[in-house]
């Protein structure tokens, strides 16, 4: 059996963990995932009452529908922040935890590949910046900016 002090510490830790999960993953029941993923083809009944009026306006907005067809999901909801703030904020609260956890995992994977036994540099700032950057290098400009080594 565990001593009471350890049991109390475990219970306290689990209570704090529940609170933190509540902060990271807020109540997702205001809009169902169907409403977030395909707002123009789902039923208004799937939306809570406080967001139904705004959702009906969104569903009938042809400009928003055109944007939805050509824009990635997270960018679409970002564009709708001004016109439909309630629906947009609820959708973004549901979408953002996944993108941030993906970025964290991608960064950790890049760090692991850089920090191997064969390559154990302490300072990986420049290397990890290159590994995580979405910008493609323009090799022609890089080559042109370097000076050729003169022969002796």
DSSP codes, 78-141:
HHTTTTSHHHHHHHHHHHHHHHHHHHHHHHHHHHHHHS-SS---S--HHHHHHHH--PPP-HHH
Contacts of 10 (CB under 8 A, 6+ apart): 2
pLDDT (average), residues 20-42: 74
Question: Is residue 31 over pLDDT 60?
Answer: no
- What is the percentage of the chain residues whose pLDDT exceeds 70? 89
Check: CB of residue 110 under 8 Å from CB of residue 132.
Answer: yes
Per the prediction, the chain carries an average pLDDT of: 83
- What is the percentage of the chain residues whose pLDDT exceeds 90? 23
Give per-residue pLDDT as tens, 57-90: 999 999 999 999 999 888 899 999 999 998 888 8
Give per-residue pLDDT as tens, 122-151: 778 888 888 888 888 888 888 888 877 777
Question: Is residue 30 over pLDDT 60?
Answer: no
Name the pLDDT band for 54 (thresholds 50, 70, 90): very high
Q: CA–CA separation, 97 vs 99, rounded Å?
A: 6
Q: Which of the two residues, 6 and 150, has the higher pLDDT score?
A: 6
Contacts of 37 (CB under 8 A, 6+ apart): 73
Q: What pLDDT is stored for residue 118 in this prediction? A: 61
Q: What pLDDT is stored for residue 37 in this prediction? A: 87
Name the pLDDT band for 41 (thresholds 50, 70, 90): confident
């Amino acid at each position: 059996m565990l001593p009471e002090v350890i049991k109390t510490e475990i219970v306290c830790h689990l209570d704090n963990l529940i609170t933190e999960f509540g902060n990271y993953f807020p109540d997702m029941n205001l809009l169902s995932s169907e409403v977030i993923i395909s707002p123009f083809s789902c039923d208004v009944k799937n939306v809570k009452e406080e967001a139904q009026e705004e959702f009906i306006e969104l569903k009938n907005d042809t400009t928003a529908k055109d944007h939805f067809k050509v824009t990635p999901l997270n960018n679409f909801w970002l564009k709708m922040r001004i016109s439909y703030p309630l629906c947009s904020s609820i959708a973004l609260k549901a979408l953002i935890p996944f993108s941030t956890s993906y970025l964290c995992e991608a960064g950790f994977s890049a760090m692991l590949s850089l920090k191997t036994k064969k390559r154990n540099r302490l300072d990986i700032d420049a290397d990890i910046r290159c590994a995580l950057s979405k910008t493609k290098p323009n090799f022609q400009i890089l080559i042109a900016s370097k000076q050729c080594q003169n022969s002796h």
